[in-house]
Amino acid sequence: MLFFKRSIDFTIKRKFYKCQIERSENNYKTLFYFSPLPMWVLDRQSLKFLSVNQAAINHYGYSEGEFLQKSANDIWQWEEEERIFLVKRKRSDEFFKIQIVHRKKDGQLIRVNFTVHH
């Protein structure tokens, strides 16, 4: 009988924790997608865009589909690439911030405070 009670307790706790995780995930998605600041998620190795929010789409002028076919390298001002590579390599497992120049779809250059979270 004790085994069944433990099994039921475990099942209830597991369901509770799963609901908490789902709620937390939904909160983070809401913060990401509805933020007024341009944000995206990149693959750490290839720097391909995995997701972008509406603010990034509006600010840069690319559609979501266009972003998802690009990597961060495609919007960096080409002079920045070597400096970014060196910073990324030195701090591959850390949080860091850097100011870089991006090129919007219309060709306009903008200074961007770039923050990386591992």
Instruction: Return all residues near 63 (Cβ < 8 A) that are at least 6 apart.
Output: 57
Q: pTM for this one?
A: 0.71
What pLDDT is attached to residue 36?
95
Contact predicate 99/113, CB 8 Å: yes
Q: How many residues does the chain have?
A: 118
Query: What is the C-alpha separation between 64 and 81, in angstroms, rounded?
Result: 23
Query: What is the C-alpha separation between 34 and 26, in angstroms, rounded?
Result: 12
Contact predicate 49/41, CB 8 Å: yes
What pLDDT is attached to residue 93?
60
Query: What is the C-alpha separation between 74 and 71, in angstroms, rounded?
Result: 5
Q: Mean pLDDT in runs of 10 for the chain (118 residues)?
A: 71 84 88 92 86 96 96 82 66 69 93 76
What pLDDT is attached to residue 17?
85
What pLDDT is attached to residue 5?
67
**Residue carrying structure tokens 């924790």:** 17
